[in-house]
Amino acid sequence: DQQVKQNSPSLSVQEGRISILNCDYTNSMFDYFLWYKKYPAEGPTFLISISSIKDKNEDGRFTVFLNKSAKHLSLHIVPSQPGDSAVYFCAASYSGGYQKVTFGTGTKLQVIP
């Protein structure tokens, strides 16, 4: 049972345009969501997060939107740069003692110069 889903395995975007990566979840108990970026032969690195009490969080070119009613979050990258080409994972967790972290399957983003 995949509780966190990234339905697009890959995405290609022109440099300078917006990249939108999507993530859906099924467990309404999730209250903290994170995005990680992964380059080949490296471990994932943290990008941005959002708590369930918010619907938007921004950090430079990266913005995460959370729609709790739809159980959907998205990562917007504006403007996209070739160095953004990587695999992006969304992850979800919930507090209160049960601390499993569930990751999505990843979306490979290619930014074309």
Q: Which residues bind another protein (CB under 8 A)?
A: 6, 9, 31-32, 34, 36, 41-46, 49, 51, 89, 91, 93, 95-97, 99-106
CB-wise, 2 or 67, nearer to another protein?
Answer: 2
**Token pair for 89:** 């994972």
CB-wise, 25 or 36, nearer to another protein?
Answer: 36
CB-wise, 32 or 65, nearer to another protein?
Answer: 32
CB-wise, 14 or 59, nearer to another protein?
Answer: 59
- Minimal distance, residue 62 CB to another protein, in Å: 13
- Minimal distance, residue 73 CB to another protein, in Å: 15
**The residue type at 63:** T
Nearest-angstrom CA–CA distance, 112 and 82? 6
Tell me which residue of 90, 104, 101, 88 sits closest to 29, measured CA to CA. 101
